[in-house]
Chains A and B, each alone.
Chain A
């Protein structure tokens, strides 16, 4: 048992024994360390002004990820190197990304700038990135700038971020590795008392028993949702259990039958495997939150909390995903769609936690499409999300699995449309009509700030039509204005 957290900052090991269950990294930096370079713009992980970099060892090398410090719990940086804008200058000289931002006139009001600098710092240290505006845009999707119109920032990124890293961090990478290795231990962390604590067990059994003792504790994986309970709902979470140090829970395992995503695997960590399953799934993954959100947020957490902000469940449901849960007494698995009972209500018992999900691979006669409709392309939550898996046999739809988000209080399958399309001819649009019609009775969507009920219904139908048009090849031309598929690797044979 360890009653402290430890991390690296500015070349020094920091050890803290006063870490509250809801303390955030941003408050630690600004209020306790009085390092005010890191800014709060929104307090909910959507603007990126508070971006800091966290370095952790991946295959023995320090790898830096951008995270939103406003919704990152302080305890979650245990074992990492915390890098903030104050740490970048060496001998008072600007870091290459800082110098490029000045040279390109990349700041105006300057308030968002430290956040951009930190995201660019992580891009600077990220190897094997293709030098393109698209790459930069992807990295910057979680950093809002209201002044510049982004062009000079993108230019600075292109100038500075695509050569081999040559800065104080790369020079002392070996030393950093040694220090991070020295920090890595397999002790459970527990700070506080049974009334109020931050805990970070290191094994699944440790978690099961701690959670059984405190079934009202809040489990935290990436905190991209829980963070907002703290900063926006001002909920007093007196006991938080961070899952990030549990051995093996973050695994992403590819097998011939599918992909197993451990409960604490981040979106980022599972992106490659998802892209491999389907080009559309890869595109969808890239549009979940932002780089910062994907570096912290987990698919498991998103599902476990039944977050209404979930654009992956419809796709995962259409693909036939199963969810795996565990308690101190044992484990069980169920089809993902059965986990979502009603708005805000999931099939999760006291003391039970998600351990992972299994996404089956498409078989040779299956094809998959998914579409995310948003007001803004990047870092937005869908008004309608449609996902479609068709099993084809000689041009006949043998099975249709269709799931939507935004059409009900939970991600939900379109049972009527699935039935109506079974037996339809994929190349004959006249046989699609009943399926299209069935959507009208499958769902009764609501109007809210994202879209009206009418638009949702019209668009749900349009997406089904679009999927069928694309799969059948009945559309003579490209019919996507956004999210172009980079590769068509799942066209059914």
Chain B
């Protein structure tokens, strides 16, 4: 490992942004004083809520619920069922198909049927075991294949089409096709789902929720309680991880806590047990992908036909956006002259799959890399050559959905830089030599690109608000609609606001996200948290500053060019004031020192109905080169070296961005290697705890791990300080690991495309190895 970033000096004349400042809560994290919802001092008499479910039920109609033994258990105060809901029994984001408490039908194993409210959490958990729920089971639909056979979907199919693959494919010199299964992923945020609801006067409710989307918590709670939105306030200071799992799926727990609080008039808290959390909440979508690609014989793609079959689970949740994003990224970084990209959103009797960092994009890109690898194997050329051959360029820069890839030169430059810094071609030879000398262990190498579209593809979400107050002692109160889940959003936004006022960070007070301060917000998702909220906060700060400048100009008879904010001072010509002095003067002069800033991303015009327009403000780019070794007797694998170069535009905080890149990569690597979700044939999730579901540990991180930020011209779009979003794109750097494993398997039988599925567990690797050996034996 090398100490990264020491060579970077990005700040220039800037004082606060582009600096590697620690996370605003870093000291509190290490002291254990950063407060999460379960750490908050509970009001006297707080009750605890535990959701109850039918352990053996998968799909079926409920014909008897006996909760008598639950009610009579020690410590139980109340048992809630759907009949207790005064408003609407739904906690979905949009589609109305997520009951808070199931009524007549159970739709998946883990669906909540009732909720116990008790004096202690332990009493509630024990009482919940006493329920007797009888159902009339129906045959469950579990896998994408089952759902295709039964033709069940959560929403209509959708497709992108360019040109005519029907004619392009037969006109190709060579046509390849295949099927690939891509597994899902559990979020495994370290802090599980949690909410605490406090009844307020006049039927109001204050809800603390570990959520990426406080506005949706507010709306959901209001809807379920049957009260106006204005009666509900949602607040979150920080989450112990989100990763998409708390975008829509924090709703149910907040709604249940609020329902219990409404019913009992007491504060109520619900914190899910880890196993319940993993069983009840949705995950990254798993896919079956059917692909077909035609090329010109040398490897240049002529036509592509891909079908994505996604397991969405029992309800729609965010599957529309997730699967659209899969389609938006089915090109990875490659130009498809004729393309048909189809998507089916399959309904299964399993938990409702949801947002997960990358939001469908990783699966789309992985399928594209499989096609490239197949072409390389069949043409006998190096996969990197095929990748570059098919990159977008000046002539071919239109994606299948019609948006130009304006920064194709950045994409190529970045990949060429990592090709050089990773010493790709020499190592390719070393890998070949190793493989010729070793019968049991085989090495693989792969260099894969990342191109990720930045913006919510649901246009209305691309807006943000912020609330900034300047107090008369010169301190600044900062609030915005984004939520902190560890990504350092608050720190970045605070740096931007500090820069604006010319003050140090200690003058800027970061405060909890709260729907009564900044209303009608978008979720903190789609990597857009900083792009949106830092812009809104900057506008708020700038407005206050402009008012101060106008006041100073009048008071001291000088032009704006003579006024300078910096070093915790305001310079007016030769005179220096503290910001407090200026703020006091302005207050006396009756200048408003508070402003609500607002920002809406410009230039995005996507229209889903007509499949036209521009969905993304810009693309973020990256590249990774991975080397792995596999054991062809057992399927065990180690990642030996990974080189990463990633484009964050001009970084707002290089240390935080580096953390996102490394963390995203390792999380993506887990998805593609050790993290396997297993349902049994009855539809019960068998991997519902960290004892059976294995996210990476420290020893899984490559021994040789070299990560750097791409130094370019910055974001060509007018983002905040020309930075780029960084939350999700790095997940897809891990595609390099999967492709390297595939490369190692491919070495067993040159010219044959391995049938490796994701995740590449030892068993999946052995399956692909044995398949290669079988094919070799029959050749």
A42 contacts across to B, CB distance below 8 A: 274, 689-690
| Contact of B662 with A148 in the complex, beta carbons under 8 Å | yes
Docked-complex contact B243 and A36, CB < 8 angstroms: no
Question: B636, A482: Cβ atoms under 8 Å?
Answer: yes
* Chain A residues whose C-beta falls within 8 Å of the C-beta of B275 in the assembled complex: 232
- Is the beta-carbon distance between A133 and B678 smaller than 8 angstroms? no
- Find out whether the CB atom of B26 lies under 8 angstroms from the CB atom of A39: no
Q: Mark A342-386, 1 if CB is under 8 A from B, else 0.
A: 000000000000000000000000000001011111111101000
Shortest Cβ distance from residue B630 to the other chain A in the assembled complex, whole angstroms: 7
Verify if B697 is at the interface (C-beta below 8 Å from A): yes
A137 close to B699 (CB less than 8 A): yes
Which A residues from 467 to 485 make CB contacts under 8 A with B?
Answer: 475-482
**CB within 8 A of A146: which of B190, B438, B440, B631?**
B190
Instruction: Take A375-B694, A481-B631 as given contacts and tell me if A148 and B32 are in contact as well, using a CB distance cutoff of 8 Å.
Output: no
> Contacts A149-B663, A234-B126; is A459 near B766 (CB within 8 Å)?
yes
Contact code string B18-49 (vs A, CB < 8 Å = 1, else 0): 00101101111111111110110100000000
Answer whether A146 and B39 are a contact pair too, CB < 8 Å, given A108-B487, A109-B240: no
* Complex CA–CA separation, A418 to B198 (angstroms): 67
Task: Report the bound CA distance from A40 to B29 in whole Å.
Answer: 15
For B634, the chain A residues whose CB sits under 8 A away are 371, 373, 459, 462-463, 466
Cross-chain contact B637 with A41 (CB below 8 angstroms): no
Asked whether any CB of chain A lies closer than 8 Å to the CB of B238, the reply is: yes
Which of A133, A379, A478 has a CB less than 8 Å from the CB of B441? Answer: A478
Closest residue of B by beta carbon distance from A38: B32
CA distance A133 to B698 in the complex (A): 9
When the two chains form the complex, which single residue of B1, B439, B486 contacts A109, counting CB atoms closer than 8 Å?
B486
Docked pose: A153 CA to B696 CA in angstroms: 14
Tell me the residues in window 91-132 of chain B with beta carbons closer than 8 Å to chain A beta carbons. Answer: 122, 125-126, 129
- The 8 Å CB contact of A44, one of B274, B633, B763, is B274
Contacts A108-B659, A375-B676, A377-B699; is A37 near B638 (CB within 8 Å)?
no
**Which residue from A105, A379, A463 sits with its C-beta under 8 Å from B656?**
A105
B571 at the interface (CB under 8 A from A): no
| Chain B CB within 8 A of A89 CB | yes
Given A112-B190, A375-B674, A449-B686, CB of A37 within 8 Å of CB of B241: no
Q: Which of B256-264, B295-303, B618-626, B700-708 contacts A (4 or more CB under 8 A)?
A: B700-708
**B289, CB-defined interface residue at 8 Å:** no
Give residues of chain B (253-308) contacting chain A, Cβ–Cβ below 8 Å: 273-275
User: With A85-B31, A141-B697 in contact, do A149 and B274 touch (Cβ < 8 Å)?
Assistant: no
Interface stretch among A311-319, A433-441, A450-458? A450-458
Residue on A nearest B763 in the bound complex, by CB: A455
**Complex CA–CA separation, A451 to B686 (angstroms):** 12
Given known contacts A109-B240, A455-B766, A148 and B663 CB-to-CB distance under 8 angstroms: yes
Alpha-carbon distance A148/B766, docked complex (angstroms): 30
Structural contact, B700 and A377, CB atoms closer than 8 A = yes
Q: Are B637 and A481 within 8 A (Cβ)?
A: yes
Stretch at the interface among A94-102, A173-181, A257-265: A94-102
A113 touches B1 (CB 8 A): no
Distance of B274 from chain A, by nearest CB (Å): 4
- Shortest B136–chain A CB gap in Å is 28
User: Do the beta carbons of B32 and A47 come within 8 Å of each other?
Assistant: no
Which residues of chain B in 400-444 are interfacial with respect to chain A, using CB atoms and an 8 Å cutoff?
A: 437-441
Q: Do A153 and B30 have beta carbons less than 8 Å apart?
A: no
Q: Taking the complex as formed, is A465 at the interface, i.e. its CB lies under 8 A from any CB of chain B?
A: yes
Cα–Cα, bound, A435→B32 (Å): 56
Residue of B nearest to A87 (CB): B32
Contact of B486 among A108, A154, A232 (CB under 8 A): A108
A309 CA to B692 CA, complexed, in Å = 11
Task: Across the interface, name the chain B residue whose C-beta is closest to A42.
Answer: B274
Which chain B residues lie closer than 8 Å to A138 at the CB level? Answer: 699
The answer on a CB contact under 8 Å between B636 and A481 is yes
A49, A98, A147, A373: the one contacting B663 at CB < 8 Å is A147
Q: How large is the interface on B (under 10, 10 to 19, 20 to 34, 35 or more residues)?
A: 35 or more
Q: Does B232 sit within 8 A of A, measured CB to CB?
A: no
Contact B189 A146 (CB under 8 A): yes
Number of A-B residue pairs having CB atoms within 8 Å of each other in the complex: 270
A33 to B: closest C-beta gap in Å: 13
Interface residues of A in 71-118 (CB under 8 A from B): 84-86, 88-89, 94, 98-99, 101-103, 105-114, 117
Query: In chain B, what residue has the closest Cβ to A480?
Result: B631
Taking CB atoms, residues of chain A closer than 8 Å to B189 are: 109, 111, 146
The answer, yes or no, to whether B239 is at the interface (CB within 8 Å) is yes
Question: A379 to nearest B CB, angstroms?
Answer: 6
Query: Does A102 contact B637, Cβ atoms closer than 8 Å?
Result: no
- B649 contacts partner chain A, Cβ-Cβ < 8 Å: no
- Nearest B residue to A234, CB-CB: B126
Q: Determine whether the beta carbon of B39 is less than 8 Å from that of A36.
A: yes
Alpha-carbon distance A137/B35, docked complex (angstroms): 28
List of A residues within 8 angstroms of B238 by Cβ = 109-110
Q: Which of B189, B638, B694: most chain A Cβ within 10 A?
A: B694
Given the contacts A107-B30, A376-B697, A477 and B676 also touching, CB distance less than 8 Å: no
Q: What is the CA–CA distance of A459 and B29 in the complex, to the nearest angstrom?
A: 43
Within 8 Å CB of A154, what residues of B? Answer: 1, 698, 701
Rounded to whole angstroms, the CA-CA distance of A377 and B441 in the bound complex is 17
What residue of chain B has the Cβ atom nearest to residue A235's Cβ? B126
Asked whether B697 lies within 8 Å of A110 as measured between CB atoms, the reply is: no
Is there contact, CB below 8 Å, between A41 and B629?
no
B631→A376 contact, CB < 8 A:
no
Docked Cα-Cα span, A475 to B658, in Å, equals: 42
CA distance A106 to B34 in the complex (A): 15
- Indicate if B75 sits at the interface (CB-CB under 8 A): no
Q: Which of A99, A109, A114 has the most CB of B within 10 A?
A: A109
> Is B666's CB within 8 Å of the partner chain A?
yes
**A41 lies within 8 A of B692 (CB):** no
The CA-CA distance from A452 to B28 in the complex, in Å, is 45
Q: Is the CB of B30 within 8 A of A98?
A: yes
Q: B612 to nearest A CB, angstroms?
A: 38
The verdict on B691 contacting chain A, using a C-beta distance below 8 Å, is: yes
Within the complex, the shortest CB–CB distance from A395 to chain B, in Å, comes to: 22
Are B698 and A380 touching (Cβ within 8 A)?
no
CB distance from B534 to the nearest CB of A (A): 18
Does B229 have its Cβ within 8 Å of any Cβ on chain A? no
| Beta-carbon nearest neighbor of A230 in chain B | B122
A49 to B664, CA, bound (A): 20
Q: Does B715 contact A (CB under 8 A)?
A: no
Residues of B within 8 A of A102 (CB): 22, 26-27, 30
- A192 contacts chain B at the CB level, 8 A cutoff: no
Q: Are B441 and A450 in contact (CB under 8 A)?
A: no
- In the complex, A277 has a CB within 8 A of chain B: no
- Measured between C-beta atoms, what is the minimum distance from B531 to chain A in Å? 19
Considering the complex, give the chain A residue whose CB is closest to the CB of B691: A46
Alpha-carbon distance A377/B698, docked complex (angstroms): 10
Query: In the complex, which of the residues A47, A89, A111 has the most CB atoms of chain B within 10 Å of its own CB atom?
Result: A111
A–B pairs, 23, beta carbons within 8 Å: A36-B35, A37-B32, A46-B691, A86-B32, A107-B23, A107-B26, A107-B29, A107-B30, A108-B663, A110-B29, A133-B1, A136-B698, A143-B697, A146-B190, A147-B241, A149-B701, A375-B762, A448-B686, A449-B676, A455-B767, A458-B770, A462-B633, A482-B636
New A-B pairs, 9, CB < 8 Å, besides A103-B22, A110-B28, A451-B763: A38-B32, A46-B690, A109-B191, A114-B32, A148-B659, A232-B275, A376-B694, A376-B697, A479-B440
Residues of B within 8 A of A (CB): 1, 3, 20, 22-23, 25-36, 38-39, 41, 122, 125-126, 129, 187-192, 238-243, 273-275, 437-441, 485-488, 629-631, 633-638, 655-656, 658-659, 662-667, 674, 676, 678, 686-687, 689-692, 694-701, 703, 705, 707, 761-763, 766-767, 770
The 4 A-B pairs at the shortest CB distance, nearest first, are namely A37-B32, A109-B486, A111-B240, A110-B29
Contact surface of A with B, Cβ cutoff 8 Å = 30, 34, 36-44, 46-47, 49, 84-86, 88-89, 94, 98-99, 101-103, 105-114, 117, 133, 136-138, 140-141, 143-155, 232, 234, 236, 309, 371, 373-381, 383, 448-452, 455, 458-459, 462-463, 465-466, 475-482
